[in-house]
Amino acid sequence: MSSKQTKATQDQVPQGDMFVQHHRDVKLQQYTDSLERMGELVDFEQVAAAVDAACPRPDRSKGGRPLYPTLLMVKVLFLQALYNLSDEQAEHQLLDRRSFQRFCGLADELRIPDARTLWLFKQRLVQGGLGAQAIFEAVQQQLQAQGYIPRGGQIVDATIVRAPIQHLDKEERTLVQQGAVPREWGAKKTRHKDCEARWTKKHGKSFHGYKLHANVDERYKLIRRYKVTPANVDDGNTLVEVLDKANTAARLYADRGYDRRASRELLAGQGCKDGIARRAPPGEKLGQRAEARNKAINRRRSRVEHVFAGLQQLGGKTVRAIGLARNELAIAIKCAVYNVKRLAWLKENVPAF
């Protein structure tokens, strides 16, 4: 190789290394900026106070290891939801990533919450089912305090959240569907079997897990109310629980799954205009006017699909916990984190009014 070729090759190596490192630095800065922005927009002390009010801290006056501050634990939950981390992965990242340590206030701390501590904290939140609602409502109050109140009408829809499939024989499956536990299961096996997730079909495909029923305001595409159920629960059965009376526009949009007399009577009683798409009677076809109406409704209603896509990016369309209560907590925190991410975008692009 000539001296000119050798020199050219040597010149290219550091340039390539600098180029790669530059891209890594830019990408790392994007992660760091998102965490810093979340810390600026959310008053986590208020969220922690709401959690302590709903789920009081255990008494340690008679001894025992001091508990980590609720503020710290809530921040770790937000990190888990934002990056779709298991408890073990969260423990590793808290030990390894300085941006996580700064966000949680652990940069100079020796003790880091481990996976078992995170599991126990979640167990405290699911007692009575109050922790999930406390976190979601605390974030909701801050959204409204910053001017992003529910506007433009409400859109109601449901999406399937898949859970690990439970391998049961026919007899076990029958008992589980009846809400019973097979006698031969020991305590350990029972703890590792999700007896509350259910099967459902959508577009001819079978899915196992839960269902998130959500109310999204049309103006800001923020989740205002939610309900988590087993996957086999009919969408229309939860309408009363996800209605949002605070929306400034008295109109609700929903797909044909909500088309029933009870739904229309509920909306009429609430003084809310009916924007539910119509389904054709058995053996008949919709008329031209009904088809045109459905098409107009679907154009407005489709905005909720953007929200579900945002949850999908957070890993929010699958769960890994056992049981309805723990998975409801995970889904509620995902919804709260989605709202915070959406708030950051709104602050830059859509002023509150």
Q: Which residue has the tokens 């898949």?
A: 162
Task: Pick the range with the lowest mean pLDDT from 91-95, 159-163, 184-188, 290-294.
Answer: 184-188
> Which residue is associated with the tokens 């406390």?
134
pLDDT over 70 percentage in the chain: 89
Extract the tokens encoding 142.
């801050």
pLDDT tens digits for 136-156?
Answer: 999 999 999 999 999 999 999
Q: How many CB atoms lie within 10 A of CB 242?
A: 22
Tokens 């503020």 -> residue: 71
Determine how β-strand 205-217 pairs with β-strand 198-202. Answer: antiparallel
What residues form DSSP beta bridges with 251? 273
Q: Alpha-carbon distance 179 to 104, whole Å? A: 40
Burial 177-201 (b: 16+ CB within 10 A, else e): eeeeebeeeeeeeeeebbbbbbebe
Backbone angles phi and psi of 195, in degrees to 5: -90, 5
The residue assigned the tokens 């206030």 is 105
Distance of alpha carbon 313 from alpha carbon 36, whole angstroms: 20
pLDDT digits (tens, 9 = 90+) for 70-90: 999 999 999 999 999 999 999
**198-204 contacts: CB < 8 A, separation 24 or more?**
198/230, 198/231, 198/232, 198/233, 199/231, 199/232, 200/160, 200/231, 200/232, 202/160
Is residue 102 exposed (0-12), middle (13-18) or buried (19+ Cβ within 10 Å)?
A: middle
Residues 104-125 have a mean pLDDT of 91
Q: Which CATH number fits domain 150-349: 3.30.470, 3.30.70, 3.30.420, 1.10.150?
A: 3.30.420
Which of 78-82, 174-178, 332-336 has the weakest average pLDDT?
Answer: 174-178
